[in-house]
Amino acid sequence: MSLQTNLNPPLANELQACLETVEALLPEMTEIRRHLHQYPELSHQEVETPKLIADYYRALGLDVRTEVGGRGVVATFRVEEPAKTIAFRADFDALPVQDEKDVPYKSKNPGVTHACGHDGHTAALLGFAKSLVENKVRIRHNVVLIHQFGEELYPGGAMAMIEDGCLENVDAIYGCHLQSMMPAGKMYYREGYIQAAVDTFEITVSGKGGHGAVPHEAVDPIVVASHIVTALQTIVSRNTDPLEQLVVSVGSIHSGDANNVIPGEAIMTGTIRSYAPETRKMAWEKLEKIASRVADALDAYAEVELESGYDALWNHPEETAIVKKAMETVFDGENVLKTPPVMPGEDFSYYTQHVPGSFFFAGARPEGEAYPHHHAKFDFDESAMLNTAKTFMAIVHQY
């Protein structure tokens, strides 16, 4: 490996030695990841996973806090007279999805699998931590290792862990998400918004039931709901700046159970994805107004329930520049790319609201057919764990 270095020669040599240690730890990271994949645990129900993480850090001789914010684990690598304290975060919860892969490390917990790569995030952070310990004389900063529970299920674990002090004395925080649909070996950064705010809504349309043969005697909530669905499209097409990103999607409509009966009620559910706070606020207001007024115009009534989810994830400019330089130090230029923003949510957003930080992606598309996150056959190229850990190490050396 030859560094595309922007560090002075002594620091470049130190980083080279650290990266070689990380490289040697890939088999161990792979073993940990596959164990976690076989024994996944659902959000806010994690028991054995945080125990494994805490035991690993205790064996390394690090300070360990457990039950942080609930089920989180925080370990701290310390040096004498640290220049900075830098945090790295990985999540460790799984999803309520049946694992349909035909692999030796297939999930042994029915109906639960790591279909989003959190097992890989955990293994990469553990490997990175071990490389810190093995290169302690080369490290000049304290490093806080945050293992978070519950990312997949709102309210997540980030806010609770922050309230419990996981960011105390932290100068900056970083995180990485493996991406099964991005080419393996590629690393992706982005300044500013990188992941969207996630909100959900439920609209209950109340009409007047009746016989399907005499619709004029009823108020059909299905027709009203259909008009609402159509009108909601104007929130994006006619109320949003074309340079701003916004998604308003209706995901379900449930009403009635007979072919000759007009039901009295229809229930719609959907999601709103946005970045800018003012766009998010506008979408909420327009959705409520459209639903109520369309229903009123058709002699029905619409009740809207909106639930706020994770905030949009903002990457700070200075910390993103550090990520980019770190990537360029380790990888060839053609493998360091700027990613467009994506619409899935991520509660890493709360960390960067409290301290400067940046979240980035590691390409992890496996050989053969690739499946997206949350798919029953989701898997990833395990070399992405190594690339993640290398980038973490390079970030530390950028300071």
169 vs 127: CA distance, rounded Å: 24
Could you give the dihedral angle defined by the CA atoms of residues 206, 208, 210 and 213, in that order, rounded to the nearest 10 degrees? -90
Instruction: Work out whether the CA dihedral 372, 374, 377, 383 comes out positive or negative.
Output: positive
Report the side by side order of strands in the sheet with 63-68: 63-68, 72-77, 142-148, 85-91, 172-183, 357-365, 187-189, 336-338
Asked if 138 and 53 count as a contact pair (C-beta separation under 8 A), the reply is no
93 belongs to the catalytic site: yes
Catalytic one of 151, 319, 347, 379:
151
Catalytic one of 41, 91, 93, 381:
93
Asked if 44 and 71 count as a contact pair (C-beta separation under 8 A), the reply is yes
151 belongs to the catalytic site: yes
Cα–Cα nearest to 186, from 335, 39, 58, 86: 335
308-342 as b/e: b if 16+ CB within 10 A: ebbbbbbbbeebbebbbbbbbbbbeeebbbebeeb
Count of CA atoms in the C-beta half-sphere (13 A) of 59:
10
| Residues assigned a catalytic role | 93, 151
